[in-house]
Structure formats: structure tokens, C-alpha cells
Structure 1
């Protein structure tokens, strides 16, 4: 979105048109909305802004629920925004530590600031991009004077009077649509600058979950977060925001089928030692991505009375009928031939026509493999393709 589009949108006419829009979900919806608004005499610039925002609001419901219906977005800003349910959990850490005034540096469209302000904290939100800062100001306007939004750089922000900091450095190239990842030295602000702030003030730093672990300081808490099976972020907590005795944490959030979500967390003071490898048992367990990133697989294995299927592969196996929120558990049916022809024949013999394909440690593309299996049948199952030692293995199983 360009500044001129935002200015056109932030008018009584633009906001009235946007709020009157029906959900825009598909390309056909976009075409119909554009045709109708142009026929009504609205300018191409305003139509583009209104329809684009309507489509982003529809997509944003997955992260912001009903709040999305009164928010503004850029495409890149929405993709990079923290889910509101996760932002609220982060905000609770600031509140519970007794902090009152938090600086949100690199606030983006204001998702994390929403969580902070929603818990009654005073927020100074800063973003270096003028359009993004304008959108954040709109999204945070309901909180009145409790939230101040500034257009400026994190490095130039005066932190006098600030109790704690939330930092989300720009880790991608500048832009409101297509962006690409950059190196830590090229982040805005750089990782070195971010960690210096974290040494001076209690700070939470949102980073990508794949950050090189060598870059994580020894004196912070590193918390990997997953939502509904996808590892979405790594947060480094410093000072009073870091929990005593916790250096590694895996926070697993799963939707409960309704409006809420259940959160489960595994914490430790260091990486967990793995359990030894053992033969395939009656159950196979796939650890959540946050558990894998936090290197707490061994702690989960011990809770399940399980061992590693292979010392280099993040699959666990056990004979005990146990599971946990930190794994997906499968009841093993049998081991099938890994050769595609033989595997296809075996699946047809078992009347399997609906197959979930998972893989770890093998160079297989499930999307390419599926049509080659020529599935036909009325039964369903899960196929787990992995490596045990030097042997490729295909395990037929059912989700527990």
C-alpha cells in the first residue's frame, strides 16, 4: 500500500465503503467488488485500497478474530504480525512482572501493541515505515492516550521512562507486499543492537524460529512458540522477563475447536539429553516443532517411556499407550516396502484410498509421491517415511 492509498482510505468515504464491504475471499469476489465500486463512480485508487483491505481483513480473521473487522493491514504486515492470542500471552509476562510502560520497537501494524494495551499497559509503539506506522495508529486508536504511535527508527527512540521493551526487528527487505529474508547484521535494527538493548532493559525479542542457536546469548530465556502444529516464532526474554532457572522453553498452542486455544509449555535450564535409539515399537511419536527447536525431545521421550527411532531423526517410538500435547502420536500397523511400486501395491491390497503422508530424514516430496501411489480404496491411514540407520523405512500407522 502506498501513502496515497492510505490517505484515500482514511477518509469518511473510504472507511464507510470498507466497513460496508462483504467478505472478500476469492478472485471472483475481488472482481465483483471492483466492478461494483467502479460502476458507482469511485476512483481506481480508492477502489484498489478498499477491496485490498477487505480481502486482507478476511485473511486476518485467522490471527485476529473479530478484531480484524475494524483493523487495517498491509500484506507483509499481516504475514509478519503475531497472532493476537500469542501477543496476549507475551503481554501477560510484562504485566505480571509489574511493568507499566512498554516500548514496542518495530511495532508493524500493531498486533503486539494490541496485546499489551489490552492488558492495561501504557505503550509507545514505533515503526520506521510511514505507512505501517499510520496503520498501527489507526489500529490502536481505541486505546486513546494509553498508546502513542510514532514514525521513527528504533535506534533513535528515547527510552527514558520506559520500563521494558518489546522488539521485533525487521528481518526482511522493506516493502508492503513481497519481501525476502536478510542476515542478522542487515536487520533493522541489527541483532547486535537489539541484544545490547536487552542487556540494559528487560526485553522480549521476537525472532524467526530458525535462528542460528550460536547467536542466542547464554543469559536469556529462549522460548520457541508453535501454533496448531506450525512453529511460528522464537522469543528471547531478558532481565526480569526471563523466568528463573529457565533457558529453554517450548510453548505449544492448539485450537480447541471453539473460539479458544489450549497452551502447554515445556521448560528446562538447558538442552535435554536425548534417549538412546531403540527398535520400532507399537507407537510412533512426532515431536512438535517447538520441542525440536528447543532441543527438549529427550524430556518428552522420557515422559512417554519412549526412545529415538534413529539417533539423528526426530521421531520417537514406544510400546506404552501414552501421548502428550508435545507430540503427534500414531499407532503403528506395520512396516511396508519403501519401493514405490511395492508400496502402491501394498496400499491397494489394504484398501487404502485416503493417505496422510509424512516424512523426516528422507528426500521425498509427498505431493510428487501421492499420484505415483495410485491410491484406491475406502480406508484411511498415515504413511510415515523415514530413515533408520541407512535404511529407508515406510511405516503405516493411524493417528491416535
Structure 2
């Protein structure tokens, strides 16, 4: 359960005394088992703001590896969960600068300023404005943007559904949580997605949505004709981003970001890319495409680019004689039926002791299956369960390996 910071809490945390108090709080474990004792100790020193200190330190820890300057941010847990990861926000800022060089960009739901920070850092963007209805989040954003140095973006309190600027492009990130937890329907977002699209009709608008957004339904039922960009970072699908201004742009786009020692790399697949493939079959390797490619409906386009083909036209697994650079592949050892008795016998014969199970197209729980297979050996393997046509099939494979980039 998160603690809702008050304006007084934020004012305290932004003070010199509050900064020192945060350093003290950061020395505590603040785990589930220690939280009560830690909170009691902090209340003895900071009786009015102990809960705010705990919330902020735990939010900073959650933000580590996701947001820049995580150890100095003012944030709460909910804000960090919804905030856009810095590499994803930077990718979008660069795209905006490419499409609208020198533009004024208005973030309509700026929250704690994660997106604004990336926009302000992009030299190709002319000016940045942020607004939000929550005065506490705005106060946090003012602090967080001050960490950047230079001239901070202008902030104002405003309703996203009430246009308050003549910016060249608008960004919105509707809230995906309420008092009951995470919400999924487009009418449950705050502000509602369709209202946003209506209010800003005719103006360039970028809307960040849950990666599970049914964008096909949005197109067919509500007439959305912009671009859908699905973004992943280090194997996790982060968002489906809607670009209303899509003239000359592909309808669907997958952006795959990977962190590395030399920074973040990105490759993209679009619906304008060719998608002709050879007939389905089974090659030496099976490749499970990145989730952004799958959710954007671009598996065939990705396969064409890398000389792969599908195991089945309706299944996202790909196969070929090589694994694309930077991707993970599974070398096929044996094709088996999906019957548990046959699987158990084949695994026992090879001395399997650890097993990675991947499933597409079949109603199989990997964890339950692994337990029922009663592995007793020492060797690692992978098992890919899928279907070809109407028939379930299993592929026993060597452990997955990532091809050199």
C-alpha cells in the first residue's frame, strides 16, 4: 500500500532538512519484514514526515535502472510504476524532433516529469511545457526537472481535456490505475482515451497506452487511423504509443531497445517492410521474436528481414539455420508429441535436471508441466510447446543462446 504524499511532505522533502532526512532514511532496509520497525525509528526523529520519507526512498529504489537521477528523485510508488523509462522517453523525444524540428511540445499529464526530462534534453525540440491536475505531482516535477540544470520546462496546473496552449505537438499518458488497482479498458483510463482523441482531433497528439491495448479494436470500432508504435526495452514490452499524425508513416511499428555497455541500441520493424516468406517448416533453430514485434503484428516482416520462416502461419515462433544478431535462439534436438509420458521419458533419457518451457498456441501452464515431469537429472534443456496446424508438437532444444551482436 503506497502513501499519498501531501504538499507539506513535498515542501519538507525539497528543503535542506528534508534532503538530510532522506539520506538518513536511505540507510534503513525498508523491506516488508523490517518496515514496521524502520518506520517506528524514523517517526522518533521525523514524526510528521516519516511515512513520506519511507515512500520516497522506496520509490527511488524502484526507479533505479528505469529513470535517470533515480537516487535524487521525488516520487511515489504509483508515479514510478507509470513513468516512462528514460531510454523509451529519449527515443520518443528524438522521434518528435525528427518529425517536428524546433517544435513546442506540451506534456498534458506530466506527473513527476519523467517524460519532460527527456524532452528538455533533446536539442531538436524548441520548447517544452508540462501540466497536470495534481499539485503534489507538479511540485515533485519541479524538483526533478531542477536536477537537469539549465532552464527548466514551464509547469502549470491544468486539466488535460481542457486545451491550455498552442503547442505544436501534445503528449498524454492517461492514468492506468484507480483505487481498485490497474485498469485495462480504454474508457477506464484517466483521462479517457476517446475523449483525448476527440478534444485534440486535428492536432498532432501522442498517447502512451498499456502494451496490452487492443489497437485493432480501436481502429475498426472507433476509426483510429494513426500509427501504433509498440516499444520494448530489454525484452519487456513497455507501451503501445499512438501517433495521431501519421501521414506518410507506416500503420504499425515495433521499436526494440536493448541496453548495453555502450548505451542503448534500437532496431525497428514496420508494416511497410516486406513480409514474403518461404513455406513453413522446421529449421536448425527456433527463434522467439521480441514481444514488441509480436504485439505489433509484424512477425512476418521481422522474419523476412532475417531470412527466417514460420513453424506455422498462425504462430509467432520462427525458425531458420541461423539466429539474428542479438537475439536468442534454441537449437532443435528432437521433435516429440506433447503427451506428458513421452516428454517425461525423453527428458529422463537425457538426464534433464533443469528445463525452460516456452508455450505458444497451446493451453499449457509451464510451471505446472515442469513439476509434473519430475526432473531428476543434472543437464539443462529447453522445451518449446506449440502447434503446427491443429496438432500439438514439442521441440526438445538445447538451452537458449543469444547470438553475438
Residue in 2 that maps onto 1:234:
240
Q: CA deviation at 1:154?
A: 0.7
Query: Mean Cα displacement is larger for which, 74-83 or 216-225?
Result: 216-225
Match of 1:267 in 2: 270
Deviations 1:38-96 (A, max 9, x none): 45x321x422211221111111112114x101102221111111101111111112223
Give TM-score scaled by structure 2 length.
0.86
Relative distance call for 1:86 and 1:220 in structure 2 (3 A) is same
Count, aligned residues: 387
Residues 291-335 of structure 1 deviation map (CA, whole Å, 9 limit, x = unaligned): 1122211122223333321222211223x224255x532211112
Does 2:163 align with 1:147?
Answer: no
Could you say which residue in structure 1 is the equivalent of 2:348? 348
Question: Counterpart of 1:200 in 2: which secondary structure?
Answer: coil
* Structure 1 residue 209: Cα displacement: 2.1
Deviation for aligned residue 1:8: 4.5
The 5 Å alignment of 1:200-215 reads 200-212=202-214, 213-215=216-218
The 1:108–1:231 alpha-carbon spacing in structure 2 relative to 1, beyond 3 Å, is: same
Conserved in 1, the CA contact under 8 Å of 2:105 and 2:170? yes
Q: Which of 93, 102, 107 is matched with 2:105 structurally?
A: 102
Question: Match for 1:113 among 108, 112, 116?
Answer: 116
Q: Distance in 2 between matches of 1:80 and 1:243?
A: 29
Extract unaligned runs of 5+ from structure 2: none
Counterpart contact for 1:251–1:263, Cα < 8 Å: yes
Q: How does 1:86-97 map to 2 (within 5 A)?
A: 86-96=88-98, 97=100
Of the candidates 246, 255, 259, which is equivalent to residue 255 of structure 1?
A: 259
Q: Measure, in 1, the Cα distance between the counterparts of 2:80 and 2:119.
A: 18
Partners of 1:232 and 1:37 lie apart in 2 by 35
Secondary structure of 2:101's match?
coil
Question: Which structure is higher in helix share?
Answer: 1
> Whole-Å Cα distance in 1 between the matches of residues 342 and 298 of structure 2?
37
**CA-atom RMSD in angstroms:** 2.6
User: Aligned equivalents of 1:70 and 1:18: distance in 2?
Assistant: 9
Shift of 1:252: 0.5
Q: TM-score, normalised by structure 1?
A: 0.87
CA-to-aligned-CA distance 1:159-203 (integer Å, 9 cap, x gap): 22x121111122332x5xx62215323433332332245543222
Change (3 A) 1:259 1:28: farther
Q: Which runs of 5+ in 1 are unaligned?
A: none
